Structure 1
């Protein structure tokens, strides 16, 4: 397949990927160790941890839009660097807190900075990469993130094995350091054309995304599709342990399979998306594939010898990751193409809020559906994915129709000009 399918081209895409790789390694360790650190070292109850994370991600979903707007006004490079440093500082604060009020404040700072960083980085990508290559570049970044998370999770596993306060502190300190290093990598990027990075841009019409109903609908549908995220991290482990005869290590096997597949094939999948029409089709197909994956997951609970549910789960995981990659390719194109060129920060902040909301409501919604209703719950969830995927096409047409006259906006839902053969690895 060639390294060109994994390593992005030289220039801003490669630098952006290096920044994401740097802090995703730290995030991988954080995701593995953080909950046990919060409970074993800080001494918090599961209820306290869950409540703090819920409040934090709710605030983060709201904060992403104004922080993205700030990136539009002040320049996405400077705000991305600032948010990366602030995220590192928030994680560093967690090393010292020992009471619930301080923990809640640190978590809220962390989630708000994470959402602001995501919006600023997306705006930076849109400013530095030509429109025809944004989805391709975003696919490279997704592959990079998955590779970094896998490496970080392995390092976090060492901390789990040691199971000491020192090992957990080391893992979180490493995560804080990676965000500082990522800020240094972002510093190497050029200032986007037309932005000084130090002067306010004209205020324009303010947070116009909040009045953009077509874009809000598209973002809502995308948020529904993003429910696959808590499905992988929360629901499947519980389903496998409680409702199937598969061995316990199946959970790790499915996560490794998902990560490696995205690393190896996400860029190839994204190359098939060349405009809003193909992006809408990709999301529609993702809805169909996610429905099939839910049906397969439901079958894994039918019983039988241990190898049978294991085999069904592996097939289901492959189907699911195929739908995940289809969704990513189409969703990224839609989010970029429907946003005004001079307001990418606030629009990406709004669009990216779907991730925070999915993390916020997804675990409770999906565990109720799947673990309480069993097969019926899987069918409802699959139907939800299908409905959102099918509805995306008319929603995108509605949003695109209202952007024909605006400066910096898409003028049609048709495909972009064909890409050249200059891409690394071609």
Structure 2
């Protein structure tokens, strides 16, 4: 089992909890939209609107919850939020109108975004330095494995296509998430962080260097939605590739992340290596966008080859970019306010997730090949900016520590 498990310590129970909860996430990712449309009777437009509004409200919870984690300690707060998420998610089984769906989605998303920030604070508390990058990389690999397993289980509900089968998936998600929450109690308790009384409360929102790096990271993170939003329609409507290539590109991405995320993080140990890795990631993402665009010009065999190669190049860039972001999110943050800073980082990622579908619809799906190229240049430009911006943010952080 050596190499498959993290070193003995607090990361092991957190990894097990992550695996259990992500299996539950995979279940709901597979069945939730069909449940709300086929069983509850909502329209696709209503589901989309409800999730978008919930996402907007969710932006308001990460920073305050992260701040609360700093002041009260992240472990117990994370357990409480996780259990609250379990209870609220079961309320979906009682929903039969759009307004009920909207209210439950808003509350659930607020708790979820807050729990994400608190989880980041917990990781920061139980790890140090480069170990934080390795921990986040390991947990991301575990996340992909859990989601794949959950999607496989959720496929059974899709096969039976009954109200009972779909509802069972929601119950199973809640059970797994509740078990995961209690597993986190095996992580040693974390003391609240000390804070001087003579400074501003919302330090993360005043840190221009951190905000700039978070914004750049959010701009580059749009690539995470490519396989969910752009590739399916691009393959079906603009290439000669068979439809199964949609699934194959997603499988390539998921499997490679699960196998190589930890390994890709090993050379990232400081701000300089993180910034350089992200710069390389931007160039790799540019190359992958060119390959995806080229898939529209050839026959089925050429399209399959270019799409598969594009997926491999894209995931190589994703591995480097995510590993760099793990270090930057922690090392540029003030140690006495890690939860608050992780809340800012999570909020920037949430904004990226919200705007990504629109950008992908306007560029590659709206403009075709030129749109793919523009998107690739966007990624490359963001990557190139990381080195000077991170250097500036790091200098600001050092100056603040000296003062």
TM-score surpassing 0.5?
yes
Q: 1:25 deviation in Å?
A: 0.3
Q: How does 1:9-20 map to 2 (within 5 A)?
A: 9-20=7-18
Q: Which residue of 2 aligns with 1:381?
A: 375
Q: What's the TM-score, normalizing by structure 1?
A: 0.91
CA distance in 2, matches of 1:145, 1:244: 31
The corresponding residue for 2:184 is: 186
Pairing partner for 1:328 from 306, 316, 322: 322
- Bigger helix fraction: 2
**Residues 95-134 of structure 1: matches in 2 within 5 Å?**
95-134=93-132
* Counterpart check, 1:269 vs 2:301: no
2:231 corresponds to which of 212, 231, 236: 236
Moved over 3 A (4+): 3-6, 200-204
Q: Is the 8 A contact 1:6 1:140 kept in 2?
A: no
String of CA shifts for 1:166-221, please: whole Å, max 9, x gaps: 111111221122221111011111012x439xxx9776521111111111111110
CA deviations on 1:313-350 (whole Å, 9 max, x unpaired) are 11000000000000011111011000011111110111
Residues 64-79 of structure 1 mapped to structure 2, 5 A cutoff: 64-79=62-77
Tell me which of 50, 53, 69 is aligned to 1:52: 50
Whole-angstrom CA distance in 1 between matches of 2:317 and 2:96: 42
CA contact (8 A) 1:6 1:263 kept: no
| Aligned mate of 1:162, from 153, 160, 163 | 160
Alignment coverage as a number of residue pairs: 402
Distance 2:192 2:217 in 1: 30
Quote the residue 1:423 is aligned against: none
Distance 1:232 1:249 in 2: 13
Distance in structure 2 (CA, Å) of the matches to 1:125 and 1:23: 16
Shift of 1:140: 0.4
Gaps of 5+ in 2: none
The answer as to whether partners of 1:5 and 1:264 remain within 8 angstroms in 2 is: no
Aligned with 1:398 (options 385, 392, 401): 392
Partner of 2:276 in structure 1?
281
TM alignment of 1:231-380, pairs within 5 A: 231-304=226-299, 306-380=300-374
Contact 1:30 1:175 in 2 (8 A): yes
What is the distance in 2 between the residues matched to 1:63 and 1:301?
Answer: 42
**Cα–Cα, structure 1 residues 124 and 43, in superposed 2: closer, same or farther, change >3 Å?**
same
8 A Cα contact 2:62 2:114, kept in partner:
yes
- Identify unmatched segments of 5+ residues in structure 1: 412-426
Shift of residue 49, structure 1, vs aligned partner: 0.8
Greater displacement, 138-147 / 6-15: 6-15
Residues 85 and 179 of structure 1 are in contact (CA less than 8 Å); yes or no, is this contact kept in structure 2? yes
Given the superposition, is the C-alpha separation of residues 190 and 334 from structure 1 closer, same or farther in structure 2, using an over 3 Å criterion? same
Matched, 1:195 2:192: yes
Q: Deviations over 1:360-414 (max 9, x none)?
A: 111121122111100000011101101111111111111111111445x9x9xxx
Structure 1 residues 296-320: Cα deviation after superposition (integer angstroms, max 9, x where no partner)? 000111131x222111111000000
Change in 2 beyond 3 A, CA 1:4/1:299: farther
